[in-house]
DNA sequence: CTTTACTACTTAACATGTTTAGTAAAATGT
DNA sequence: ACATTTTACTAAACATGTTAAGTAGTAAAG
């Protein structure tokens, strides 16, 4: 009995395929981030905050794919590093409202060129059409109810 | 000046889009794994070993997207739990050859049905054609040189 | 109005991710 | 043969992932 008789090849299993593809894309981004003392997670948080404005932590957790316990710790250091600011919610005092600071926004701007260059390298090899197609499929997969 | 003027929307950024899609797919798989005291990483290792037979650790790390230091620790507990076995390489004594045990294979077999059911749920909602298309694009992205 | 549930976090503990440094074996250069 | 470099890991330190438990504020039910 063949080894693959009872499971799908890992290269055709969605979770592993998504992970491997992501590793390819992240490798050069991680190189960029190492130069500016920022982790992948902090970069994601800055981008989400830049996009969403002032939001509560649960919203960041959802958008940036982080669990609240991780977020609590990460935001603590980002606040003391001056990249984000926090305040208690005015109507609902359970909530902590977070926004990006000018310093945080500056980090994004300083690394925009590198970030775009990485994206362009990938696009040059796969073609814009396929990238768009892939992004559409990923958005659709993300919306599936499981 | 609009907030999105200098960056791509995060939903159209490959790293975040890949991560979010993966979270959707992994959620029910994590539920399954919690019932059998197995982490996502150990599940991935078992699947890779089942597919590849006896291989060195570096090969597992590549295929399962784990770094060697993580793998060292994880395999230590998997060995003591009887899910894998290790031996020193015969020709090259630097290598550690790893293979899945019958007990490890049994874990895969016991959870195959659940794993397939999850895949089928997703396929039912997106359609097989789109899933195949997505997997093709992911394999292609994975092969890009960055 | 009070009790009960629920929500938005925080804390703690342990597993894994990630980087740097170290070790032993193998390959390479001279 | 010898020194040098490379390879395949392992160890340690710190950040993050993940689960379970706890806290305070809010909403719902009676």
pLDDT in tens, B25-37: 999 999 899 889 9
pLDDT at residue B3 above 70?
A: no
Half-sphere exposure of B66 (CA within 13 A, CB side): 22
Q: Which backbone phi and psi does A83 adopt, to 5 degrees?
A: -85, -25
CA-based nearest residue to A116, from B12, B75, B113: B12
Q: Report the gap between the CA of A61 and the closest CA in chain B (Å).
A: 11
The arithmetic mean of pLDDT across residues A31-47, rounded, is: 94
Record the tokens describing residue B3, joined without a space.
């907030």
What single DSSP character describes residue B82? T
The arithmetic mean of pLDDT across residues B88-116, rounded, is: 95
Average pLDDT for chain B: 93
Out of A47-61, A79-93, B5-19, least confident range: B5-19
What are the chain A neighbours of B143 within 8 Å (beta carbons)? 24
Q: Which nucleotides of C are covered by protein (CB under 7 A)?
A: 7-13, 15-20, 24-27
So what's the pLDDT on residue A4? 55
3-state helix, strand, coil in chain A (%, to 5): 70, 10, 25
A72: which nucleotide lies closest, measuring CA to C1'?
C10
Beta strands in chain B (DSSP E): 55-56, 84-88, 96-100
pLDDT at residue A1 above 70?
A: no
Sheet of A96-100, strands arranged across: A55-56, A96-100, A84-88
């Amino acid at each position: 009995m063949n080894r693959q008789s009872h499971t799908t090849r890992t290269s055709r299993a969605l979770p592993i395929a998504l992970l491997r593809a992501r590793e390819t894309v992240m490798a050069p981004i991680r190189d960029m981030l190492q130069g500016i003392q920022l982790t992948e997670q902090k970069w994601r948080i800055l981008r989400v905050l830049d996009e969403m404005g002032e939001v509560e932590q649960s919203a960041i957790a959802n958008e940036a794919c982080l669990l609240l316990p991780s977020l609590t710790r990460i935001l603590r250091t980002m606040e003391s590093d001056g990249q984000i600011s926090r305040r208690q919610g005015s109507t609902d005092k359970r909530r902590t409202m977070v926004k990006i600071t000018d310093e945080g926004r500056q980090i994004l701007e300083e690394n925009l060129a590198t970030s775009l260059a990485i994206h362009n390298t990938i696009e040059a090899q796969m073609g814009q059409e396929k990238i768009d197609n892939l992004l559409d499929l990923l958005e659709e997969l993300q919306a599936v109810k499981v």
